[in-house]
Amino acid sequence: MQDVPIQLLESLEKRKDFSKDSFLKAHEQPPVVSIRLNPLKTVENEALFPNMSAIPWNPNGYYLPERPSFVMDPLLHAGAYYVQEASSLFIWEILKQTNVDTQSRVLDLCAAPGGKTTLLASYFTDGLVVANEVIKTRASILVENVSKWGSGNIVVSNNDPKQFAQLPGYFDVLLVDAPCSGSGLFRKEIEWREGWSEANVELCSQRQKRILADAYNALKENGLLIYSTCSFSQEEDEDIVDWILDSFSVENIPLQLDAAWGVEETDSDRHQAKSYRFYPGKTKGEGFFVSVFRKRETSGYAFATATNIVQPTKNERLILDGWVENPKDLYIYKNGNIFHAVARQFADDIALLKNRLYLRKGGTELGEIKGKDLIPSTELALSLLNAEKTNRYEVDYAQAIQFLRKNDLERKDDMVNGWTLITFKQRNLGWIKVLPNRINNYFPMEWRIRKQ
């Protein structure tokens, strides 16, 4: 097995928070397995797996004693939980300690595949989370994960961080979970050890500054900036923290730690600003770095201008309202031929964001009207919006896997003709259309399980 790069170890050995023995010993062990439950689709402490144990810094986080085959679990596809590295779940503790309003507008600037986005959506229950990913293919994975999560309060954009300069002072919270050299994940991604180099660390640190500088103006006065990486290199961590304090008018926010968590508080060289390091061997999780700031200067203000948002016609609205439980609470709009819904209070936000960004998803996709019928989108199936009167059909494990493979399902006598939600353990998986002598499986081709 490829060793942890020697130059990285040499740089870490100079740090007083680093313990080489425990670090190397931990790197001979497999990574810690952890999940985060979706409060919209599970009940508190629901034991989805045997012997789950609580992660202390996130009420929805749990360690698992071993790694099951997540991909073959229909509940993963239903969005009942997200497989996420334990240390990064600490973002929740930060939001709790800084007392952020759950109605905030939040930008998750580097969001794919969506681990932190879905965490943010669970915290900001009455807020709006804009999850941005600059790389197109990764934005598709983000859309998939966010759709499965089923929160109606997420917008996915596919923009360069520069474009957020067009939203001055709009966000209450800015999370920059920056692309980095990745040394914190060396237990999980062993092949990354070989690709690691000091030159790449330097490249990453330049890019991190660029990303922060591009998006900073989108943060409101008194807004919270959270900067995180999964790198152990000071050039990408505390040195960036010093650069942030040199470049912007922000105040560094210290956090309270429980000694039992094994998280290291560190001081940056120039400003002695507080940051938090998670080392495998000390903390039960992978490598993670985070530092928190509050903006102490005014910004401009982004306001909505006239947009080309298309509203449904009366007839279309009548059709759409039949599919959702509380249509009066929803703002429904049309993007191309597809209808989308967000909570009514975010109508102006959608107009503004659509005007300034390239949106891949804005709230919940409902589907497309053809003739007098809606072809419902899988996003609608996975959301909490479905009307109670919608047909549902509960399947067993084998049938659920057949459905998720997009294979044909057998027409059963107790099925009712028409659009039907397939459910497994009472969680929606997607749509089928039951016809008199067959079933059409509407699970998205690109999401199907391919593993044999």
432: left (phi over 0), alpha (psi -120 to 50) or beta: beta
Task: Name residue, tokens 């508190």.
Answer: 44
Q: Is residue 209 at the binding interface for ligand SAM, with CB under 6 A as the rule?
A: no
| Shortest distance (Å) from residue 177 CB to ligand SAM | 4
- If binding means CB under 6 A, how many residues of this protein chain bind ligand SAM? 16
**In which element (H, E) is residue 421 found?**
strand 418-424
| Shortest distance (Å) from residue 207 CB to ligand SAM | 5
Neighbouring residues of 201: CB distance < 8 A, sequence distance ≥ 6:
181, 231, 233, 235, 236
Q: Is residue 73 at the binding interface for ligand SAM, with CB under 6 A as the rule?
A: no
Give the binding range for ligand SAM (CB under 6 A) out of 12-20, 114-122, 314-322, 369-377: 114-122
CA atoms within 13 A of residue 365's CA, in its CB half-sphere? 20
Residue of the chain from 4, 12, 26, 110 that contacts ligand SAM (CB under 6 A): 110
What CA–CA distance (Å, rounded) separates 94 from 292?
Answer: 8
What is the per-residue binding string for ligand SAM in 320-359, x denoting contact by CB under 6 A?
----------------------------------------
Chain centroid, CA 84 distance in Å: 10
Nearer to ligand SAM, 134 or 449 (CB): 134
Q: Is residue 112 at the binding interface for ligand SAM, with CB under 6 A as the rule?
A: yes
Q: Is 239 exposed, middle or buried (0-12, 13-18, 19+ CB in 10 A)?
A: middle
Q: Is residue 94 at the binding interface for ligand SAM, with CB under 6 A as the rule?
A: no
Whether a cis peptide bond, with omega within 30° of 0, leads into 74 is no
What CA–CA distance (Å, rounded) separates 105 from 131?
Answer: 11
Q: Is residue 211 at the binding interface for ligand SAM, with CB under 6 A as the rule?
A: yes
Region 151-180 residues binding ligand SAM, contact defined as CB under 6 A: 161, 177, 179
Query: Cβ distance 295 to 225 under 8 Å?
Result: yes
Residue of 126, 138, 148, 149 lying closest to 177 (CA atoms): 138
Q: Is residue 425 at the binding interface for ligand SAM, with CB under 6 A as the rule?
A: no
| Shortest distance (Å) from residue 226 CB to ligand SAM | 11
Give the binding range for ligand SAM (CB under 6 A) out of 21-29, 112-120, 353-361, 410-418: 112-120
CA atoms within 13 A of residue 363's CA, in its CB half-sphere? 26
Residue of the chain from 54, 135, 318, 387 that contacts ligand SAM (CB under 6 A): 135
What DSSP designation does 383 have? Answer: S
Nearer to ligand SAM, 292 or 434 (CB): 292
Looking at residue 123, its amino acid is Y
What CA–CA distance (Å, rounded) separates 340 from 332?
Answer: 6
| Catalytic residue (choose from 110, 180, 204, 230) | 230
Give the binding range for ligand SAM (CB under 6 A) out of 128-136, 195-203, 277-285, 401-409: 128-136
Q: Is residue 384 at the binding interface for ligand SAM, with CB under 6 A as the rule?
A: no
Is 230 an active-site residue? yes
Q: Is residue 134 at the binding interface for ligand SAM, with CB under 6 A as the rule?
A: yes
Nearer to ligand SAM, 179 or 262 (CB): 179
| Shortest distance (Å) from residue 215 CB to ligand SAM | 9
**In which element (H, E) is residue 247 found?**
helix 238-247
What CA–CA distance (Å, rounded) separates 142 from 136?
Answer: 10
| Shortest distance (Å) from residue 171 CB to ligand SAM | 15
Q: Is residue 56 at the binding interface for ligand SAM, with CB under 6 A as the rule?
A: no
Q: Is residue 215 at the binding interface for ligand SAM, with CB under 6 A as the rule?
A: no
Query: Cβ distance 133 to 156 under 8 Å?
Result: yes
Give the binding range for ligand SAM (CB under 6 A) out of 127-135, 233-241, 285-293, 313-321: 127-135
| Shortest distance (Å) from residue 368 CB to ligand SAM | 29
Q: Is 327 exposed, middle or buried (0-12, 13-18, 19+ CB in 10 A)?
A: middle
Nearer to ligand SAM, 115 or 367 (CB): 115
Q: Is residue 133 at the binding interface for ligand SAM, with CB under 6 A as the rule?
A: yes
CA atoms within 13 A of residue 98's CA, in its CB half-sphere? 27
Q: Is residue 116 at the binding interface for ligand SAM, with CB under 6 A as the rule?
A: yes
Neighbouring residues of 43: CB distance < 8 A, sequence distance ≥ 6:
none
Q: Is residue 115 at the binding interface for ligand SAM, with CB under 6 A as the rule?
A: yes
Nearer to ligand SAM, 141 or 304 (CB): 141
* CA-based radius of gyration for the chain: 23
The CA-atom distances, in angstroms, between 421 and each of 154, 354, 386, 442 are 23, 30, 9, 10
Give the binding range for ligand SAM (CB under 6 A) out of 109-117, 302-310, 391-399, 401-409: 109-117
Nearer to ligand SAM, 31 or 114 (CB): 114
Query: Cβ distance 143 to 338 under 8 Å?
Result: no
Residues that bind ligand SAM (CB under 6 A): 110-116, 133-135, 138, 161, 177, 179, 207, 211
Residues tagged active-site? 230
